[in-house]
Amino acid sequence: MKNRWSESDAAKYADNALQLRVYSSRLLGGEEDLVLHGGGNTSVKITEKNLFGDDEDILYVKGSGWDLGDIEAEGFAPVRLKTLQHMASFDQLGDADMVRMQRAAMTNPYAPNPSVEAVLHAVIPFRYVDHTHADAVVTITNTPGGEDKIRDLYGDRILIVPYVMPGFMLAKKIYEITREFDWSQCDGMVLLNHGVFTFHDDARRSYENMIDIVSAAEHYIEQHANIKPPADNNNDVDLERLAKTRKQVAEKRGTAVYALLDNSPEAHAFSCLDNVDAIACRGPLTPDHIIRTKQVPLIVGDNDNGNPDPVEDYAADYQAYFDRNANAQQTCLDHAPRWAVWKNQGLIAFGATLKEAGAIADISRHTITAIQWAEQIGGWQALPEKDLFEVEYWELEQAKLHKSQTRPELQGKVALVTGAASGIGKACVEALLAEGAAVAALDIDADIQGMFNSKQILEIICDVTSNTALRHAVAETIRRFGGLDILVSNAGTFTANENIEDMADESWRLGIDVNLTSHQRLMKHCIPLMRHGIDPAMVIIASKNVPAPGPGASAYSAAKAGLTQLARVAAFELGKDNIRVNTIHPNAVFDTGVWTDEVLQGRAQSYGMSVDEYKSNNVLQTQVTSKDVAAMVCAMAGKTFAKTTGAQVPVDGGNERVI
């Protein structure tokens, strides 16, 4: 592991111990092989003046919810050191009581809750303390004879601590075994199956001790493990199977989820191992991960033969796991897996948000690497089931079940919007995103790329008149998010204002191709995947010209009428699959690309009006915007229209001819 300490950078904080703590914490947090997504913790002990002007020793320890990779000074909780040290002498202390006492001992009531390892940091008699879950070190401990390997590797300079439940129990254990211990003879501490601690009065020495310990473990693995570089994965992905698995997981979890597929060469090679079922299900790399990943992954076969719903089997096994280990006060979590090994394909990470799914994906990648290392140096051996259960059903985690959680209505849903670079389409993307959905935004305009600047939006340049381009765009959406729940078929064009007898053939062809045929082709590609969607809904953007056409717009009006009829038939055909199909008829939405100055003038002239009169020509005398249409799209995609299909709803301010 590379030593990233820069003396010139560190010198900027020479007179500020807390800022130096921030600097070295970020160095650790920047290494995924040390900590992942909030894992690990660091601290510094500082003497400060209290309100009465007396010196007081304060432990600044990483606060709950902060990540070492981007932590700021305000991410450290200031806790009175003497209180924490006194807590270590208690015979017993529940974790909830420990958290309450730590909070009461804070000197800043607005700071985050201190890490559950705060008492342990206080027990270690050095100014700087670093704690990581280093992959290489933990991997070695997760093998038969791991303790002996660690002792041979580091000798007497490392204190080895058998696995103990994190929190107060771990702090108490170390407090007891180190009462007569000479800390000056120790460079660090390895917690078997858990992680590494280093410490020193100098921040650089503590950091470099961590790097040295981890580097030695990495070198050991390099010497004893012989893992061949994986070949490129050229397998085609069964997108329907991916979408189906996502839906099954969502049903067990009770909420929509994303399914992030990793079919990289490394993930694919792991999924192809003959014994992948056995080794993947022995437990996590470190118990710290189980809160996110659960004890074991789902195993998905490479086809549906014999077991069309492996999630059901997983749920039954999870209930049995809970029944074997739970006490009467514990509440069973949902039965859904958090990640899967898809045989001969790769890995899948499931999350109610993309952030959660991304964190699980990162952890699973590190886990499969560690498993293969361990298999090469003696065999993968995680903690016993009971120990893992105690962490997964930690008192502190159980308390979270009773807190109300609000989430956007469409969180976990996947939407696809065409014509997304402007007007109604762009407004729909923004509205769906605000409601929590991930969105594939399609448009022929190259400016679509980089337009939204969000990880929840997949921007695709797509000509909707190209069958190949549509097929590719839908496939990319499934690959990125795992499924498709909402289709907003919006792309359109307003052809020249021409009477029928004067119409150019190209105008008719373009109007039908873009405003009708492209929608049919898109629906054809989406339907097989939306059958595995979560409360799936199609929303078709048609036009007021369907119920109330006007002169000079036959190509546009005929195509939109055909599109409306297509949607009505689709509602009939897809009802059995629980796919809702509803249509919106916007009118006088002037902030769209269709309404150029030329088109506005032409339409106004055909009605014998000025442009201003034409814009205000509705019953409510109100302007209808793209955002208004987008709000109706979200309603149709959500619970409001859960029992409605085949509907046609105007968003037009009230049109006299339609009424």
Question: Which pLDDT score, from 0 to 100, does residue 271 have?
Answer: 95
What are 465-481's pLDDT values in tens digits? 999 999 999 999 999 99
Question: Which pLDDT score, from 0 to 100, does residue 233 have?
Answer: 78
**Whether residues 317 and 388 fall in one domain:** yes
pLDDT over threshold 80, residue 398: no
pLDDT over threshold 90, residue 404: no
Q: Is residue 32 part of a domain?
A: yes
Q: Is residue 612 part of a domain?
A: no
Last residue of a domain, one of 398, 426, 451: 398
Sign of the dihedral defined by the CA atoms of residues 211, 212, 218, 219, in that order: positive
**Whether residues 498 and 581 fall in one domain:** yes
**Whether residues 13 and 95 fall in one domain:** yes
What percentage of the chain has pLDDT greater than the value 70?
A: 98
Across 567-578, average pLDDT: 98
pLDDT over threshold 70, residue 403: no
Calculate the alpha carbon distances from 401 to 69, 257, 289 in Å. 28, 19, 18
What is the CATH classification number for the domain harbouring 192?
A: 3.40.225.10
**Would you place residue 459 in the very low, low, confident or very high pLDDT band (cuts 50, 70, 90)?**
very high
Q: Is residue 613 part of a domain?
A: no
**Whether residues 421 and 506 fall in one domain:** yes
- In single-letter form, the type of residue at position 546 comes to V
Q: Is residue 601 part of a domain?
A: no
pLDDT over threshold 90, residue 594: no
Closest CA to 34 of 118, 129, 137, 126: 137
What are 2-37's pLDDT values in tens digits? 999 999 999 999 999 999 999 999 999 999 999 988
Q: Is residue 188 part of a domain?
A: yes
Long-range contact list for 305-309, CB < 8 A, 24+ apart? Answer: 309/248
**Whether residues 454 and 589 fall in one domain:** yes
Question: Which pLDDT score, from 0 to 100, does residue 338 have?
Answer: 98
Range of 374's domain?
Answer: 239-398
Last residue of a domain, one of 189, 224, 259: 224
Question: Distance between alpha carbon 468 and the CA centroid of its chain, in Å?
Answer: 30
Count of structural domains, the chain: 3
Q: Is residue 249 part of a domain?
A: yes
Q: Is residue 577 part of a domain?
A: yes
Closest CA to 425 of 594, 569, 568: 594
**Would you place residue 606 in the very low, low, confident or very high pLDDT band (cuts 50, 70, 90)?**
confident
**Whether residues 193 and 308 fall in one domain:** no
What is the CATH classification number for the domain harbouring 507?
A: 3.40.50.720
Q: What's the rounded Cα separation, in Å, for the pair 198 and 182?
A: 15
Q: What's the rounded Cα separation, in Å, for the pair 437 and 539?
A: 15
**Would you place residue 65 in the very low, low, confident or very high pLDDT band (cuts 50, 70, 90)?**
confident
Q: Is residue 524 part of a domain?
A: yes
Question: Distance between alpha carbon 336 and the CA centroid of its chain, in Å?
Answer: 16
Question: Which pLDDT score, from 0 to 100, does residue 306 have?
Answer: 56
Question: Which pLDDT score, from 0 to 100, does residue 595 have?
Answer: 75
**Whether residues 282 and 193 fall in one domain:** no
**Would you place residue 401 in the very low, low, confident or very high pLDDT band (cuts 50, 70, 90)?**
low
Q: For tokens 């990125």, name the residue.
A: 480
**Whether residues 192 and 89 fall in one domain:** yes
pLDDT over threshold 60, residue 503: yes
**Whether residues 85 and 19 fall in one domain:** yes
Closest CA to 346 of 419, 268, 233, 422: 268
Last residue of a domain, one of 224, 259, 291: 224
**Would you place residue 303 in the very low, low, confident or very high pLDDT band (cuts 50, 70, 90)?**
confident
Question: Which pLDDT score, from 0 to 100, does residue 230 have?
Answer: 82
